[in-house]
Amino acid sequence: MPQCKFLGVDPGITNKKLYEESLGGQFIYGSIEGYEEKINISTTDTKIGFNQFLLQYFQNKTIDLMLIDIEWSEYKILPTLADYKSDLPPICQFNVELHWPPQRPVTTIHEAIYMIMDVFRKRQFLLLNSEYNSIYSGLKLRSLVEEEKYMRLFFININSDLCMKKYLCSG
């Protein structure tokens, strides 16, 4: 990806080589959490809040594309994306993988749908596409394991002139 700068956050070391060598990017050992508190990243605690991550690594920068797959914490960051603050770096596009059923922290399907719809209601981002996937759909082990489903949603920022010019408008 010669046109892009890649930054990957992963709680496992297995993707370090892929991120740094194959993609020419930066690897951060840790995980993004869906809470607002500021915490110190150390060798013993590798969790970072979503807002803190954005401010720490993208201050005065535009994020062209953010891929979000944070194993059920995505429901915690949806309100942040819906109420996107101007003090955070602009995100032009984000793709979020929503795991189903929402096990934590969402307790009901109604609550999960409300969180997703809130992103639309705030008119910061426009949904461009969605995909529904089932991890075990092709396996015969289905009866042994509860099928894990997820939906990937593709959003674009329609409230940023920079993002609009870059991705939706020509000239």
Q: Same domain, yes or no, for 110 and 69?
A: yes
d(CA 6, CA 128): 23
How much is the pLDDT for 64?
87
Find the CATH number of the domain harbouring 135.
3.30.110
How much is the pLDDT for 108?
63
Tens-level pLDDT at each residue, the chain (171 residues): 446 678 888 888 888 988 899 888 888 888 887 765 544 444 455 778 888 888 888 888 888 888 887 776 777 777 777 777 777 888 898 888 877 655 555 556 667 777 777 777 777 888 887 777 665 555 444 444 455 677 788 888 888 888 888 888 765
φ, ψ dihedrals at 57, nearest 5°: -105, -15
Q: What's the domain count of the chain?
A: 2
Q: Same domain, yes or no, for 38 and 81?
A: no
Query: 133 lies in which domain range?
Result: 62-171
Asked whether 103 and 128 are in contact (CB, 8 A), the reply is: no
**Does the pTM exceed 0.85?**
no
Q: Same domain, yes or no, for 151 and 168?
A: yes
Give the C-alpha distances (Å, rounded to integers) separating 163 from 22, 33, 50, 119, 123. Answer: 27, 26, 21, 17, 14
How much is the pLDDT for 31?
82
Q: Same domain, yes or no, for 47 and 108?
A: no
How much is the pLDDT for 144?
40
Q: Where are the beta strands (DSSP E) in the chain?
A: 7-10, 26-29, 31-33, 47-49, 63-68, 91-100, 125-134, 149-157
Residue (of 153, 160, 135) closest to 67 by Cα position: 153
